Amino acid sequence: MSSQPRGPAPVGSAEDADASQTGRGVPNPATTATRAANAAFADGLPLSDPGDFERVERGRIGGLDSLVIPHDHAPGRAVWDMDAYRFVTGDAPDTVNPSLWRQARLNTAHGLYQVADRVYQVRGYDISNISLIAGDTGWIVIDPLTSTETARAAMALATHHLGERPVKAIIYTHSHADHFMGALGVVSRQQVADEGIPIVAPVGFLKAAVFENVIAGNAMLRRAAYMYGNLLPKRPAGQVDCGLGKTVPGGSTGIIAPTHEIGRTGEELVLDGVRVVFQYTPDTEAPAEMAFHFPDLRALCMAENCTSVMHNLYTLRGAEVRDALAWSKYVNEAIELFAAGSDVLFASHHWPRFGTDELTAYLRTQRDTYRYLHDQTMRLANRGLTSLEIAEELELPVDLATEFSSRGYYGTVSHNSRAVYQKYLGFFDGNPANLHPLPPEPAGARYVEYMGGADAILERARADFAAGEYRWVAQVLGHLVFADPGNTGARELQAAAFEQLGYQAESGPWRNFYLTGALELRGGMPTAPGTRPGTRAEVLAAMTVDMVFDLLAVRLDGPGAAGISLAVNWHFTDTDEWWALRLEHSALNYVTRADPDAGVTITLTRGTLDAVLTETVTIPDALADGRIVLDGDAGALVTLFGLLDPGERDFAIALP
């Protein structure tokens, strides 16, 4: 691949010098150091093992030659495009870690598969799988994907090959959006109500589903675009996979609330004639999660607690740290409860495991991966090592490291060990020098001064780049970029270092973060598709009033609210609820009653509040048509809404 030289050449080989100077928008080639690193990586793994390639194709019934799913409400825009990944075939290119390339090839498989008698999956139509159990009269649907469009397309494929069958039950394995937001592509709310279709989920599902990503929603959304590579072109030097699947689809979304919650291991239901025994596994891969067994079918669904990757104990998009110890123990419990009575294991991502011996060995590997990460991180912490030191030292033992289902395609030993450390010991490593450090911009200016100025840093960094020291180049140039974001030489060289680190990364999210950071540094960052910051109507509608008020509280401009004290009563006529929201000391609090000292009472329906918050209606318009009625000082309401910070959607990450 050709490159366009830009600026003074770095010290080192001519090839690697050019690779740090490519112009904006044109990817650099892999350097000599990256090619050597990837070759060495390949030598350390049994990449020719055909096992997973056989598993991923086993039971395939059929699929489409071209899989592009259009958006319902955006003509010309694809919700899901597997055709864009046709280049993911054959041997790994120089620009992709060979182990990640292997995973990317596996994740391109798409179609309808028979997992076992009466058990089917549609895979490759979304980042996640939709699983279908043939009941006595219809389908039991497990995890109806991320979007209405992808779920509808998956059901259409199943209908084409297996015939029309009504949906008789839906099971949500856990509270992450890629496992329930496509429910309206499977059934309508009216069908659920009229036919009494059970929607089964773990206890705490709805709260976790609508609230886990709302408080930090804008920040998570922005970081997710980096994690999944949604802003990158799909090509060998761009986005190829995210480890857990190809990427996250866009599209229309909706929530159908559960009608039955599982909160106890051993609880049994009969759904359309099929017995299901549940294992309640909270605070594992999700705050609300469950596995379950079909004893008469000898089939075990492990939700997302077991996949064909090392999963995240901390997800790079941002979320609460997960409990590695509990995770390991629940997998061990599943072995004891279900393994001997199972002939097949399937999950919410990736491909099944077949045979009692194979699935039991797989479960033990998954169990021990999370147990090892937990125990060995804390062993080293108790020897005085910090999180960064542990991340640098810790490696999986060879019998786990050579199992592809424990490879760091999604989570990594590096950031998962830091997650374990954070759960027990927090962000502070105990060194007083790190207790109150300067933030990046003023620290950057000081570092640049101490290191002899921008020119001296660039000269040394170019030499280190040519020597393949990409981690250090990326780290040291971060100070210069934050001290002087207008320094194009520093930005391009750091982008080039990010690029090589991305090419070497086995983890899909690490690769996507590095390459998207390079895109940002080069000034080519596209605007993410979708609406401006806010909360989606479907999510908002599922939130309780206290959740909505908590969301308003984190949007409050605290400094701007200094010295302001007010109270607003809210009367929701459709539920006859009274709430009082009080602002004082630059903080919002609420109670479930009217406040006699409130300056204004606002009367409305809950739907009107949602419409105002999603900006589908303005307060003046709602006042004009009677959807909102005010009694008292309207200025208090104007002041309150004027203090809400809308947030930023496309804020910088690699730049200040």
Q: Are 161 and 61 in contact (CB under 8 A)?
A: yes
Per-residue model confidence as pLDDT tens digits over 212-255:
778 888 889 899 999 999 999 999 999 999 999 999 999 999 89
Listed in sequence order, the DSSP H helices in 451-575 are 454-466, 470-483, 488-504, 508-521, 537-542, 545-555
Q: Please list, in sequence order, all residues whose beta carbon lies within 8 angstroms of the beta carbon of residue 522, skipping any fewer than 6 positions away.
A: 24, 25, 491, 492, 495
* 343 vs 356: CA distance, rounded Å: 5
Across 521-525, 564-568, 647-651, the highest mean pLDDT is recorded for 564-568
Segment 419-427 mean pLDDT = 97
Phi and psi at residue 613, in whole multiples of 5°?
A: -70, -30
pLDDT at 10 over 50: no
Q: Are 64 and 6 in contact (CB under 8 A)?
A: no
Structure tokens at 517: 């950071």
pLDDT at 21 over 70: no
Segment 62-82 mean pLDDT = 96
Q: Please list, in sequence order, all residues whose beta carbon lies within 8 angstroms of the beta carbon of residue 379, skipping any fewer than 6 positions away.
A: none
Packed helices 545-555 and 606-613: angle between N→C axes, nearest 10 degrees: 30
pLDDT at 440 over 70: yes
Per the DSSP assignment, residues forming a β-bridge with 58 are none
Q: Please list, in sequence order, all residues whose beta carbon lies within 8 angstroms of the beta carbon of residue 274, skipping any fewer than 6 positions away.
A: 118, 133, 135, 136, 140, 294, 296, 297
pLDDT-derived band at 14 (thresholds 50, 70, 90) equals very low
pLDDT at 524: 77
pLDDT at 17: 45
Query: How many CA atoms, within 13 angstroms, populate the side-chain half-sphere of residue 147?
Result: 20
What is the 8-class DSSP label of residue 302?
-
Segment 550-577 mean pLDDT = 94
Mean per-residue pLDDT over the chain, rounded = 93
Residue count (the chain): 656
Listed in sequence order, the DSSP H helices in 142-216 are 148-162, 189-195, 205-211
Listed in sequence order, the DSSP H helices in 44-188 are 51-57, 98-106, 148-162
Percent of the chain with pLDDT over 90: 87
What are the DSSP calls for 579-607, one per residue?
A: EEEEEETTEEEEESS--TT-SEEEEE-HH
Which option is the CATH number for 14-28+437-521: 1.20.1640.10, 1.25.40.880, 3.30.450.20, 1.10.579.10? Answer: 1.25.40.880
121-125, 265-269, 490-494, 636-640: lowest mean pLDDT where? Answer: 636-640
* 532 vs 522: CA distance, rounded Å: 24
Q: Are 458 and 489 in contact (CB under 8 A)?
A: yes
pLDDT-derived band at 198 (thresholds 50, 70, 90) equals very high
Would you kindly state where each structural domain of the chain is located, as residue ranges? 14-28+437-521, 37-420, 537-642
pLDDT at 532: 42
Structure tokens at 506: 């086995």
* Residue range 37-420, CATH number: 3.60.15.30
Structure tokens at 532: 């401006």
What is the 8-class DSSP label of residue 71?
-
pLDDT-derived band at 4 (thresholds 50, 70, 90) equals very low
pLDDT at 20: 52
Segment 181-189 mean pLDDT = 96
57-66, 413-422, 427-436, 520-529: lowest mean pLDDT where? Answer: 520-529
- How much is the CA Rg of the chain, to the nearest whole Å? 26
Place of tokens 């997992």: 115
pLDDT at 529: 57
Strands (E), 192-323: 199-202, 260-262, 268-271, 274-280, 290-294, 299-301
Per-residue model confidence as pLDDT tens digits over 475-527:
999 999 999 999 999 999 999 999 999 999 999 999 999 999 999 999 977 77
pLDDT at 640: 92
Query: How many CA atoms, within 13 angstroms, populate the side-chain half-sphere of residue 205?
Result: 28
Class of domain 537-642: alpha beta
* 229 vs 609: CA distance, rounded Å: 34
* 450 vs 163: CA distance, rounded Å: 71
pLDDT-derived band at 542 (thresholds 50, 70, 90) equals confident
pLDDT at 103: 98
Segment 338-343 mean pLDDT = 98
* 245 vs 224: CA distance, rounded Å: 14
* Residue 525 or residue 636, greater confidence: 636
* 511 vs 96: CA distance, rounded Å: 9
